[in-house]
Structure 1
Amino acid sequence: MNNIFEGLYTDQILKRIGNLSVNSQAKWGKMDVSQMLAHCSSFQDIAMGYSLPQRGWLGLLVGRFAKPIFYNDKPLAHNMSTISTILITDKRDFDIEREKLKQKIITFQKNGPENCTRHPHPFFGKLIPEQWGKGIYKHLDHHLKQFGV
Structure 2
Amino acid sequence: MPSIFVPSDRDALALRVAALEPDSPRRWGRMNVAQMLAHCAFGVEDACGARPVKQVFLGKLVTPFLRKLVFGPKPFRRNSPTDPQYVMAPTEDFDSARARLASAIDRLVQRGSGKTEGLVHPFFGRLTGEQWGVLIYKHLDHHLRQFGV
1:128 paired residue number = 128
**Aligned equivalents of 1:26 and 1:119: distance in 2?**
31
SS in 2 for 1:77: coil
Residue type of the alignment partner of 1:98: R
1:68 CA displacement: 2.8
The DSSP-based 3-state class of the residue aligned with 2:85 is helix
Q: Is the 8 A contact 1:64 1:125 kept in 2?
A: no
Contact 1:56 1:123 in 2 (8 A): yes
Q: What residue is the counterpart of 2:106 in the other structure?
A: 106
Which residue matches 1:116? 116
Is 1:29 paired with 2:29? yes
CA distance in 1, matches of 2:51, 2:11: 25
Separation (CA, whole Å) in 2 of partners of 1:102 and 1:13: 10
Sequence identity of aligned pairs in percent?
Answer: 39
Q: What is the CA-CA distance between 1:105 and the residue it aligns to?
A: 1.0
Name the counterpart of 1:6.
Answer: 6
Q: Deviations over 1:92-128 (max 9, x none)?
A: 1000000110111122122211111523211111211
CA–CA distance in 2 between the matches of 1:125 and 1:85? 16
Q: TM-score, normalised by structure 1?
A: 0.94
Give ranges in structure 2 of 5+ residues lacking alignment: none
Residue by residue, what CA displacement relative to the aligned partner does 1:15-67 show, whole Å, maximum 9, x if unpaired? 11111010101000000000000000000011111122322221121123212
Return 9-18 or 107-116, whichever deviates more.
Answer: 107-116
Once residues 101 and 69 of structure 2 are traced to their aligned partners in structure 1, the CA distance between those partners, rounded to angstroms, is 23
Corresponding residue of 2:16: 16
Structure 1 window deviating more from structure 2 (104-113 vs 36-45): it is 104-113
**2:36, 2:143 within 8 Å by CA — same for their partners in 1?**
yes
Which structure 1 segments of 5+ residues have no match? none
Runs of 4+ in 1 over 6 A off after TM superposition: none
Aligned-pair CA distance for 1:13: 0.8
Task: Report if the CA contact (8 A) 2:49-2:116 is conserved.
Answer: yes
Kept after mapping to 1: 8 A contact 2:54/2:125: no
RMSD: 1.3
Q: Tell me whether 1:95 sits opposite 2:95 in the alignment.
A: yes
